[in-house]
């Protein structure tokens, strides 16, 4: 929605929530922007190719890619099964690779430059007893973004990541309903509150804009100062 308000036509990708995707598409169209949605598992190359193809058929070009798909099934290190490990790495890391490569091929072919922005996490900078698979995937994403920045810079394509702290969303809302956990997280955040999606979108919009044309390979931490207390 923030990208649409800033003037972008937006293709929405989702895994299995048609109703929500259609609602977002409708809201974007009410702003006078074009929008459509695709159902694609970003861990599968053929689905990613279909996602990019459908978007190009609808819009003709892709200027901005936001790699935002991610999962975090909390589990103690000793309880993580191989299948769960593989799935987290496939979505969170391989998914960024596949979508970025597919879109970058289009961007380089049309020679118009572009912006790639990934949603990372401060969990890429610190460990988590119940997030070993997630932390590993996000740490890998950091260096993937930096490597992509080097490879794609000659084509005018910038690659950056936003690393949020604890942001209240559907993925963690039930856990944050625990007053003790919420208070603990808020106390560990110098700015005294948990993040909201708008805190992240502000950074994303800047990285996707012309004003960030000389910024690439950067990891922008948006966490209310949480990681500053760990340094």
Active-site annotation, residues: 121, 134, 138
Q: Render the burial of 49-84: b for 16+ CB within 10 Å, e for the rest.
A: eebbebbeeebeebbbbbbbbbbbeebeeeebeeee
CB 39 within 8 A of CB 14: yes
Q: What is the DSSP track for 87-144?
A: HHHIIIIIHHHHHHHHHHHHHHHHT--EEEEEE--GGGTS--TT-HHHHHHHHHHHHH
Count Cα neighbours of 170 within 13 Å in the Cβ-side half-sphere: 4
What 3-state class would DSSP assign to 36?
A: strand
- Backbone phi and psi for residue 158, each to the nearest 5 degrees, phi listed first: -95, 145
* Residue for token pair 């084509």: 155
């Amino acid at each position: 929605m923030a990208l649409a308000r800033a003037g972008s036509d937006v293709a929405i990708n989702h895994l299995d929530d048609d109703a929500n995707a259609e609602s977002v598409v409708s809201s974007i169209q009410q702003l006078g922007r074009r929008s459509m949605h695709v159902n694609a598992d970003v861990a599968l190359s053929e689905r990613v190719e279909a996602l990019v193809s459908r978007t190009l058929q609808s819009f003709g070009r892709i200027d901005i890619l936001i790699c935002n798909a991610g999962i975090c099934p909390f589990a103690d290190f000793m309880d993580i099964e191989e299948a769960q490990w593989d799935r987290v790495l496939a979505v969170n890391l391989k998914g960024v690779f596949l979508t970025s490569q597919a879109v970058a091929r289009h961007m380089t072919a049309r020679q118009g430059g572009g912006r790639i922005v990934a949603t990372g996490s401060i969990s890429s900078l610190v460990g988590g007893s119940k997030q070993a698979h997630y932390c590993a995937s996000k740490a890998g994403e950091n260096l993937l973004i930096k490597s992509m920045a080097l490879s794609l810079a000659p084509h005018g394509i910038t690659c950056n990541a936003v690393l949020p702290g604890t942001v209240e969303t559907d993925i963690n809302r039930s856990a944050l309903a625990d007053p003790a956990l919420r208070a603990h997280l808020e106390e560990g955040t110098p700015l005294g509150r948990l993040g909201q999606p708008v805190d992240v979108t502000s950074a994303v919009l800047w990285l996707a804009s012309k004003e960030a044309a000389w910024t690439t390979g950067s990891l922008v931490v948006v966490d209310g100062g949480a990681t500053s207390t760990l340094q």
